[in-house]
Amino acid sequence: MNKKKGMSLLAKQKAAGWVFLLPATILIFVMSFYPMVQAFIMSLQTGSSANLKWANPITFNYARMFKDQLFKRSVGNTFLYLIIQVPIMLVLAILLAQLLNNKNLKLKGFFRTCVFLPCATSLVSYALIFKSLFATTGLANTVLMNLGLIHENINWLGTPGTARFVIILALIWRWTGYNMVFYLAGLQNIEYSVYEAAHIDGANGWKSFWYITVPLLKPVIVMTFIMSINGTLQLFDESVNLTKGGPANTTITMSHYIYNNSFGQGVANFGYACAMSFFVFILVAILAAINLKVGDTRD
Amino acid sequence: MTDRTAVSAGKSKKNKSAIQRRLIPTYIFLAIVSFFSVFPLYWMITAATNKSLEVAQGKIWFGTNLAENFKNLTGTEPLWTSMGNSFLYAVVQTLLCLFICSLAGYGFELYHDKVKDKLFAVLLLGMMIPQVATMIPLFRMISAGNLLNTVWGFILPTISTPFMIMMFRQNSRNFPIDIMEAARIDGLGEFQIFFRMYMPVMKSTFAAAAVITFMNAWNAYLWPKVVMTRNEAQTMPMLIANLASGYTTDYGVLMLGVLFCSIPTMIIFFVLQKQFAEGITGAVK
C-alpha cells in the first residue's frame, strides 16, 4: 500500500530529515564557504573592484603584504592586545567565578549581575564610553588630578602607549563577565561536597582553587582561551571607535587595516585586502587545529 | 533535649558569623569589581543628562540638559529611523535564524545517520572563517543582487550559523524520541511533529537562542557598515559612531545616543538574564 504512494514511510522520514537541514546547509555553503574560496581567488588578483586581473607575479599581493610596514604593525598590535589582555581577563574571570560559587556568600546574584552587566552594551557603545572617559578633558584625568596622582592632563588616546593601554583596559572591562559565565556554568557541574571534603582534609581556599577548580575546569578554560584569542584576532569595533587606529596608526588592528584597504579610505584595494584577510583566516585555522588537538587529550 | 538544640543552634550561629567574617575580603573585592563594572554605564546615563562642558568638568550626577541633548541628537541624526532599522533587522534576523537553525539542529540530531554527521562536521568548519575574510566577496554578492541597504543584505550572511545549529542539535538530545514514534502512529506528519511537539518542548532553548541572536544582530557593526551605504538604512551602532567621528564631540549628545543604543539590550539583559547566560554558553554542555 505504501508503495502505491511512491514512497515508503521510512523513506519519507529520511527525506524529511534532509528537508529540515537543507536550508541552513545551503546558506552556510553559499554565505561562508563559497565567499572564502572567492576571497582566496581575489587575493591573487589586482586592480579596481570592477576590473580585477590576475596579479603578475601571482603572489604579488602576498609579497606586498610581507613588506608592508603598516600591516606588520597591525599584526603586532593585535598580538600585543592578545598577549596582555587575554591572560589577565581569564584569570580575573575564573577568580570571580570561584568567589561567587561560595555557598555562604550573600548577595551572590547582585554581584554576578554587576560583573556580567558590561555584556549588555554593544561593542561600539562601550568603545565610545571609554573614549569619552579617557578624553583629554575626560573623567579619568579629572579623578587622577584630584587624587594628586598626575599634575597635568594625560593625552590618553593621543600617545601610542597609553592608547593601547586604554584599549586593553576596555577589552578587560567588557569581556571578563562574559567569560565568568562560562566558568560559573562549569563550576556548577562540580559537586560542592568535593570542596567540603578538601576543606576537611585541610585544603585552604588557594589550594582547593589550584587542585580542584582549575583541573576540573580545564576543558572550559581551553575553550574560553581559544574563543578569546579568536575574538582578539578579529578585533575591529574597538580599534575603529576608541582610537580610530591612531595616533598615526599605532593602535590599528588587522581587521581595521583590512577594512581601510577595502571600504575605508576611498581606496577599494580588494585584491590586497583579500590577501591580508586570508592571512587572518590561516591564523584562525591554526588556532582551531590546536583547539582540536588540545580538546582531544583533555581526559 | 531542648537545651541541647539551643546550644547547637547557638554554636552554628557563631560558626556562621565566623564564616561571614572570613568572607569580608571577598566582599570587599567583589564590591570593588562590581563598582568598576557598573560605573562606566552609570556615568554614561548621567552624562546623557548633562551639558558637554559639565561632562568634561567631571560632573558625575544627573543634570537638567536631557531635553536639550535630545533636541540636538534628533536634530543632527535620524534617531528614530535608525532605531527602527535596527529593530527591523534584528527582529527579522532573530525569527529567520531561529527557524532555519532549529530545523537544521532538529534534522541533524533526530534523523542522524553517517552522512548527516559528516556533513555537520563540515559545517562546523565554518566557525573558523573570520568575518573580515568573507566580507569583500559577500559585499560583491549582495551588491550584485541589488540587496545593499535592505534587510536581506543585513541578514543573509548570518541567518544560518554553525554555532546556532550546534546549539539546537546539542539541546535536541533531551527531546524524547519515543514521543515522535507515538506521534507518527497517531498519524502526525514529520513537519507537524516539529511544529506541534518539538517547538513547545524546546521553549527554553528557543528563548536562549532568540536572546543571543537579537543581541548580536542589534550590536553588529562591521557588516552593517559595509552593506548599509545610505544614511536612511543605517543602524544604531553606526549612528552613534557617526556622532563621535566629528571634529568636536558633544559628550552629552553622544552619551544620549549611546543610551538609546543600549536601552533594548539592557532591557533584555535585566529581564532575560538567565536566557542570555544560557545563550552565551549555548552549545557547550
Locate A140 and state its grid cell: 579619568
Condensed to tens digits (0 to 9), the pLDDT of residues B139-173 reads: 999 999 999 999 999 999 999 999 999 999 988 88
pLDDT at B283 over 70: no
Contacts of A273 in chain B (CB under 8 A): 136
Return the H-helix or E-strand segment holding B58.
none
Condensed to tens digits (0 to 9), the pLDDT of residues A59-116 reads: 899 999 999 999 999 999 999 999 999 999 999 999 999 889 888 888 988 999 999 9
Condensed to tens digits (0 to 9), the pLDDT of residues A284-297 reads: 888 878 877 776 54
B243 CA to centre of own chain: 23
Find cell 584599549 and name the residue: A167
Q: pTM for the full model? A: 0.89
| Whole-number Å distance between alpha carbons of B158 and B94 | 10
Once rounded to an integer, what is the mean pLDDT over residues A145-161? 89
Find cell 543605517 and name the residue: B234
Which member of B127, B161, B240 has the closest CB to residue A128? B240
pLDDT of residue A295: 61
CATH (one of 1.10.10.60, 3.30.300.30, 3.90.79.10, 1.10.3720.10) for A68-296: 1.10.3720.10
| Whole-number Å distance between alpha carbons of A247 and A159 | 6
Locate A243 and state its grid cell: 582610537
Locate A128 and state its grid cell: 565610545
pLDDT of residue B58: 82
Locate A120 and state its grid cell: 549588555
Mutual orientation of helices B236-245 and B79-110 as an angle, nearest 10°?
A: 140
Percentage of chain B modeled with pLDDT above 70: 94
Q: Any chain B CB within 8 A of the CB of A20?
A: yes
Once rounded to an integer, what is the mean pLDDT over residues B66-80? 91
Cα A20-B214-A24 angle, rounded to 5 deg: 20
Contact A234 B116 (CB under 8 A): no
Highest mean pLDDT of the ranges B51-55, B121-125, B181-185: B121-125
| Whole-number Å distance between alpha carbons of B46 and B50 | 7
| Whole-number Å distance between alpha carbons of B30 and A150 | 28
Once rounded to an integer, what is the mean pLDDT over residues A247-251? 89
Mutual orientation of helices B273-281 and A160-188 as an angle, nearest 10°?
A: 100
pLDDT at B247 over 80: no
Interface test with A, best of B27, B129, B193 (most A CBs within 10 A): B129
| Whole-number Å distance between alpha carbons of A102 and A98 | 7
B10 CA to centre of own chain: 48
Q: Parse chain A into domains and list their residue ranges.
A: 3-42, 68-296
Which member of A21, A31, A258 has the closest CB to residue B138? A31
pLDDT of residue B2: 47
Look at B93 and A289; give whichever has higher pLDDT: B93
Mutual orientation of helices B251-271 and B236-245 as an angle, nearest 10°?
A: 160
pLDDT of residue B267: 93
pLDDT of residue B1: 42
pLDDT of residue A79: 93
Q: Any chain B CB within 8 A of the CB of A40?
A: no
Q: Give chain B's domains with CATH numbers.
A: 2-47 (no CATH), 72-281 (1.10.3720.10)
Locate A154 and state its grid cell: 594625560
Q: What does each C-alpha distance from B273 to A109, A113, A117, A120, B201 come to in angstroms? A: 11, 8, 10, 10, 21
What's the start-to-end Cα distance of chain B, in Å? 48
Cα B177-B178-B184 angle, rounded to 5 deg: 95
Q: What does each C-alpha distance from B191 to A15, B57, B106, B167, B180 come to in angstroms? A: 11, 62, 11, 20, 11
